[in-house]
Amino acid sequence: MHIFEHMRLHPERPQIRQIRHAAKLLQDGLFAVVPTETTYALMVLPSALKAQENIRQLRGLDEQHLWSLVCADLSQAAQYVSMDNAAHRILKHHLPGPYTFILPANSKLPKRVFGKRRDVGIRMPDHAVCQMLLEELGQPLLATSMQFADEEMISMDPDVIEPRIKHYNSLLLDAGWGGLQPTTIVDLCADVPEVRRLGLGDW
């Protein structure tokens, strides 16, 4: 059975009923287009392998694509990555916010998704819809930016996104137009933080 839902949510005060429904659909194996404080992102549970494959088709990604791990808080992130005191201080200072921090992975990182990867990007968006969804799920989501394979720009208009995803088992969490600037990516795997991409977050 095919499922597609376009849910319109208040960007700052989404209804918990809608958030619970969205969480249930993700648990049923759908992927979701989710607003963040930077851009819209495609998000999916690590266990939803078919939905991950659908996202790869949609975006033209290969098996080696690096997913980010979107977490509700630092204690959730600490289950999947190793962070020393310095890294913990940096994350605590900047998150939630428009950053992706690359950290060494630990053995809990889902092998089916990440293979033998030694590191992973951690993301903690500062957006009510995304935060409430993560809290409702109680587990992290895999994420990648909302960019179609045949387009140069990240998609920001939910009404343009809808016709491209509605033939997949998917969910569009529409909180109005999204942004165009991605996160700032900072690699914390070495002794000195290294900026891999300068985005919305100051560094």
Each residue's pLDDT expressed in tens, for the chain with a length of 203 residues: 899 999 999 999 999 999 999 999 999 999 999 999 999 999 999 999 999 999 999 999 988 888 999 999 999 999 999 999 999 999 999 999 999 999 999 988 888 888 888 999 999 999 999 999 999 999 999 999 999 989 999 999 999 999 999 999 999 999 999 999 999 999 999 999 999 999 999 99
| Residue carrying the six token digits 């494959």 | 53
Token digits of residue 111: 């092998």
Q: Which residues of 101-119 are buried (b: 16+ CB within 10 A; e: fewer)?
A: bbbbbeeebbeebbeeeeb
**CA 50 to CA 72: how far, in whole Å?**
24
3-class DSSP state for residue 185? strand
pTM: 0.96
Range list of H helices, 138-179: 158-165
**pLDDT of res. 79:** 95
For 62-97, b/e burial (b = at least 16 CB within 10 A) is eeeeebbbbbbeeebbbebbebeeebeebbeebbbb
Residue type at 19 in one-letter notation: I
Q: Which CATH number fits domain 4-197: 3.40.50.620, 2.60.410.10, 3.90.870.10, 3.40.50.1370?
A: 3.90.870.10
CA atoms within 13 A on the CB side of 164: 20
Give pLDDT, residue 64: 80
pLDDT of residue 65: 85
